[in-house]
Amino acid sequence: MRFLVDLLIRALVLLLTASVVPGFKITDYVTAVIVALILALLNLILKPVLIILTLPATILTLGLFMFVINAILLLIASRLVSGFQIENFGTAILASIVITVISTLLNILIR
């Protein structure tokens, strides 16, 4: 049950990000839920590998390189799901930052 609630909140965060970031497009709520599910799977499988491979860059940037890793995962998800578009890498970086800020604010409000 907790996973389902988190998935729906992530879908809401993605829709809010799509309304704020130009070039970040999601067609509808069902697509947002699918993207949230794909991102959850990518975060589970691929993100730990990317973190280990980019550990020196992450340490040198004091953790800011995590936005780049999240942007890469967003770009991969945009290639896998039709109805989800990201124009370029800069848009993915900006979306990664916005998603982090909105998620943090929602977590503070909910918990």
Give the pLDDT confidence of 46-97 residue by residue, as tens digits: 999 999 999 999 999 999 999 999 999 999 999 999 999 999 999 999 999 9
pLDDT of residue 110: 82
Contacts of 94-102 with CB under 8 Å at 24 or more apart are 94/21, 94/24, 95/17, 95/21, 95/24, 95/71, 96/67, 96/68, 96/70, 96/71, 97/67, 98/17, 98/20, 98/21, 99/13, 99/14, 99/17, 99/70, 100/67, 100/70, 102/13, 102/16, 102/17
Q: Is the pLDDT of residue 107 over 90?
A: no
Q: Is the pLDDT of residue 111 over 80?
A: no
pLDDT of residue 13: 96
- In one letter, which amino acid is 4? L
Q: Is the pLDDT of residue 108 over 80?
A: yes
Quick one: which of 108, 39, 46, 47 has its CA closest to 80? Answer: 39
Q: How many domains does the chain have?
A: 1
pLDDT of residue 29: 94
- How far apart (Å, rounded) are the C-alpha atoms in residues 12 and 98? 13
pLDDT of residue 1: 85
Tens-digit pLDDT profile for residues 1-45? 888 989 999 999 999 999 999 999 999 999 999 999 999 999 999
Range of the domain at 35: 2-110
